[in-house]
Every structure is written in C-alpha cells, then in structure tokens.
C-alpha cells in the first residue's frame, strides 16, 4: 500500500463491483483506514485493477474504495465505458447497479440533448439503452430501484431514461417480450423518442401556459424530426422507428403525426403512449405539478380516446406493487434524512 496522508476533502465511495478486473481506473483510489478514520492512497491512477487485488480487498472485508470529487468526471467516463460489463457481471448489488445505470443514462441523455447531431452521442445513447435492458433482465427490482431514484422534476433527458426503463420493464412483463435483441430495439426507441424536441424552441417546450395552435404544430413536429435525426446516423429497426414516430398516436386516430387508429399500431407503440403520458404526469412540469402515481393513473383512465383501455388497465396492475414499494422506500428515506438533520 502506498503511504499517503490522504486528501482532506469529501471522498466518493466506489463499490468494488464497479471496478472491473483487467481495467485501469483513471483515478487515484483511496482506502479508509478504520483505526484512524483516515483515507490512505491505495492505487494510483493508471495502475491496473486485477482480480487478485479485488480478492485481497474482499478478504480484508473492504467493499469500497474512495476517490476525490475532482476526479468524478474521469470516474463517470470509466463507468460509462464499462457499464455493460458492470451490469452483466453482477458483482454489484442490484440497487447500486440500477443507480449506476440510471445516473450514467441521464448524463448521456443530457449530452445528447445538448448535441443531438453528434453520432457519438447517439451511439452512447444506444449503449446505455442496452445497459437498461440488461439491468431489467438481470434484476427484477430494476424498475423499483430506478423509480425511487427518478427525478421528480421534468427534464427531457431524465424523462427519456424513465420512459426507456418503464417501457422495457412493462414490455417484458405485460407483452411477454423476452428476447434481448427485441428489448434493445424497444429501449433504443424509448430513450430516443423525444430527441426531436431539440428542434422545438425551448420557450415553447417549457411555456407555462397553454400553447397556441401554431405553437402546438411546432411541438408536433418532434416525432418526425426525431426520427430523421436518428436515421441520418444509425440503422434504425422498424420497432425502434415506430416508437419514435408514433408515441403520440391515439387509440381513436386523433393523434399525430399519422392519425393511426389503435388497431393499426403495434402493441409496443400503444404501450409507449401510455408510459410516456404516465411519466410526464408524475413529474413536475412548468405548467403542472407532479401527480402521484395513483392520481396520474386515475386521470389516464378517465381520458377518452387516448389509450388502449385494456392495456392501460394491465399497466395499472403491472405498476401496482412496484409503485407502492417505491413510495414506501422514498418515505423511509425522507424519514431517515429528517432523523439525521
């Protein structure tokens, strides 16, 4: 062990399951010396992390190393590059793996909404969508974990992640879609479904009042604009394309851009409409407060002509247990936070 007095600033814990044997973490890693409560330099940046190092730490009962907050960007990049392996290996407890996927996906989507024409950002979005799918397949609590992490304020980039997680989890459970490839196409479409909103002026997108007819016409363009942004850079399978194009179609044919009726839409597209509206209603937007899941679902059940009603009722059942658990967990966290204050 390298001797060092260690930094004074607040350090970030890193679970050992994040550090992949055979990789080089580009940050100095510290270990907490329990006897002195001090942090001591354990591995310098560029020193490979190996399986034997991992085993030695586990034998000592060490589950976490630490890094400086100034190294957070380099660390985030490391997590993104290794995300699929981190989730696939399953060395990280489920809740932490969900957190890594949620936070990385949100960061990637924020970058994508800043630079939507970047082929690299679109590729990164596809990779995090894969990690979402893998996470849902590996850990049945993924949706629950991510719901309790989810932002309660509406941002287009976190909304994209929420819709991806919900649509993949609900598509798997409600529609019985079990193949990884198909779920990846769904996750890919879901995470990119609103990328065309980058073409809609922000003052319209975040307008507190109701939109004029002309403004609404501009908002409606985001479906086809999104599809053209993605198709210019990537090969887009039909399922992925139909989610981006048709997530605002309505059961009664009065949606956009094509006015398709319910019977002309694939089930996953009908489900994408449900998931999209549900997530928007449960987050706080400039013109509306966040509704509780119960209120949002109740309102949706009263909205005539928008949804496949039978599918909406199964969605309510699908969400029931995980939503209740997520709410209980959020309340428990609030109580704990209050207790510490």
- Residues making contact with Fe ion (CB under 5 A): 194, 276
Minimum Å gap between C-beta 207 and Fe ion is 16
Q: How far is the CA of 223 from the CAs of 199, 241, 286, in angstroms?
A: 10, 10, 21
Name the strands in the sheet holding 38-43, side by side, starting at the edge strand that comes first in the sequence.
11-15, 64-68, 29-33, 38-43
Minimum Å gap between C-beta 275 and Fe ion is 9
* CB-based burial, 291-321: b 16+ in 10 Å, e otherwise: bebeebbeebeeeeebbbeebbebbbebbee
Rounded distance between C-alpha atoms, residue 47 and residue 25, angstroms: 7
Rounded distance between C-alpha atoms, residue 266 and residue 189, angstroms: 14
Minimum Å gap between C-beta 134 and Fe ion is 23
Minimum Å gap between C-beta 101 and Fe ion is 20
Nearer to Fe ion, 14 or 192 (CB): 192
Intra-chain end-to-end CA distance of the chain, in Å: 37
Nearer to Fe ion, 84 or 204 (CB): 204
Minimum Å gap between C-beta 156 and Fe ion is 8
Q: How many CB atoms lie within 10 A of CB 52?
A: 8
Nearer to Fe ion, 279 or 323 (CB): 279
Q: What is the helix (H) or strand (E) element at residue 64, kind and residue range?
A: strand 64-68
Nearer to Fe ion, 180 or 231 (CB): 231
Nearer to Fe ion, 71 or 276 (CB): 276
Nearer to Fe ion, 2 or 303 (CB): 303
Minimum Å gap between C-beta 159 and Fe ion is 6
């Amino acid at each position: 062990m390298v001797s060092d007095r260690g930094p004074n600033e607040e350090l970030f814990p890193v679970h050992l399951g994040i550090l992949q044997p055979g990789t080089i973490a580009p940050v100095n890693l510290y270990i907490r010396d329990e006897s002195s409560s001090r942090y001591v330099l354990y591995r310098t940046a560029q020193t490979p992390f190996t399986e034997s190092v991992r085993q030695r730490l586990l034998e000592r009962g060490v589950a976490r190393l630490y890094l400086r907050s100034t190294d957070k960007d380099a660390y985030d990049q490391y997590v993104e590059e290794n995300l699929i392996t981190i989730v696939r290996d399953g060395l990280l407890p489920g809740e932490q793996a969900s957190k890594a996927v949620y936070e990385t996906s949100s960061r990637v989507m924020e970058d994508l909404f800043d630079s939507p024409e970047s082929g690299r950002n679109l590729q990164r979005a596809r990779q995090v969508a894969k990690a979402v799918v893998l996470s849902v397949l590996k850990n049945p609590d993924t949706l629950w974990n991510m719901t309790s992490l989810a932002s309660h304020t509406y941002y287009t980039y976190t909304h994209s992640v929420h819709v991806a997680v919900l649509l993949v989890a609900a598509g798997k459970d409600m529609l019985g879609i079990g193949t990884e490839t198909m779920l990846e196409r769904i996750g890919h479409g879901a995470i990119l479904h609103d990328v065309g909103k980058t073409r809609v002026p922000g003052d319209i997108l975040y307008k507190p009042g109701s939109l004029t007819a002309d403004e609404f016409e501009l908002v409606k363009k985001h479906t086809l604009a999104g599809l053209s942004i993605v198709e210019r850079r990537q090969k887009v399978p039909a399922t992925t394309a139909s989610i981006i194009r048709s997530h605002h179609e309505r059961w009664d044919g009065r949606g956009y851009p094509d006015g398709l009726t319910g019977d002309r839409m694939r089930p996953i597209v009908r489900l994408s409409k449900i998931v999209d509206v549900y997530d928007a209603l449960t987050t706080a937007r400039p013109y509306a407060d966040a509704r509780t899941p119960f209120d949002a679902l109740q309102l949706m059940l009263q909205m005539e002509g928008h949804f496949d009603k039978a599918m909406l009722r199964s969605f309510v059942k699908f969400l029931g247990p995980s939503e209740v658990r997520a709410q209980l967990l959020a309340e428990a966290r609030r109580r704990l936070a209050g207790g510490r204050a």
